[in-house]
Amino acid sequence: MAKTRTLATFAIALAGVLLMGVAATPALADNDKTPPGNPCGGGPGKGTGNPCNGNNGNDGAQGNAKSGGGGGPFEPIALPDAQDRGVFISQIGNTNRAEVRQATGASYARVAQSGSDNGALLTQDGTGRHYATIAQDGDGNALDGGQDGSGQTVLLLAQQGEGNAAIIRQTDNGSDYSAAAVAQSGSGNQLVLVQDGSDNQARLTQDGNDNAMTATQLGGGNRLEWAQNGNGLADLQITQDGGAIMQVTQSNTGG
């Protein structure tokens, strides 16, 4: 049966319904702001070649990949409202676990879990302002996230399915901010992202099963848009070191 929702539709619905539509148990007073940021965004190459619509025209048993800096401008991940503060957790289901640690009162975190055995650990350290929204819908999904530094970091994560895992580390000590928008849909997907510098941004999507993705951004001004659409796609282990712009699509689902 063909999918009736694209990953972009999923990201919008999940952020809107899970993060704002379930009964919350706020650790501090909520300001009822809808968390901004669609992990798929409206990035380069709408239509064919858009990493979010899962239709890039590539196929092959092992999965094809395209990369390069000429695929159009990277759409920036917006910096959220500076007034947002506190920790807000919503849980529906069984044996879900969420833990958020904040070093200062300048940061914001919202976690919404629906399903069973989902786990989210988020640490917001340093003297800077850090912002994160996490939505997990399904069973056995896991996030291990860390934000640090005197600058600003933004993390938007949506996981839908079973057994997806993400490890994300963000450090920013500059005057700009670093940001990541991640969407995992399917089962058994593995993702690792490290941002260490300033003004680094990444938009990463995994749609399918048993895909692997590792990305490292060092220095400043890096931009990465990477999408996997299929099953068992290999980890390209991308590293960017200062001012690099890259757009990558991997697929083995056929045309």
Query: Which residue in 154, 100, 92 sits closest to 118, CA to CA?
Result: 92
Token pair 């530094």 in the structure block, residue: 149
Query: Which residue in 245, 158, 157 sits closest to 200, CA to CA?
Result: 245
Helices first, then strands: H and E counts in the chain: 1, 17
pLDDT by residue for the chain (255 residues), tens digit each?
Answer: 333 333 334 443 444 433 333 333 333 334 444 333 334 443 333 332 332 333 333 333 334 444 444 446 789 999 998 888 999 999 999 999 999 999 999 999 999 999 999 999 999 999 999 999 999 999 999 999 999 999 999 999 999 999 999 999 999 999 999 999 999 999 999 999 999 999 999 999 999 999 999 999 999 999 999 999 999 999 999 999 999 999 999 999 764
DSSP state of 129: -
pLDDT at 23: 33
pLDDT at 254: 60
Torsions phi, psi of 166, nearest 5?
A: -135, 135
* Residues 136 and 114: beta-carbon distance below 8 Å: yes
pLDDT at 253: 74
* Residues 248 and 234: beta-carbon distance below 8 Å: no
Query: Which residue in 217, 226, 108, 111 sits closest to 158, CA to CA?
Result: 111
pLDDT at 125: 98
Q: Is the pTM of this model over 0.85?
A: no
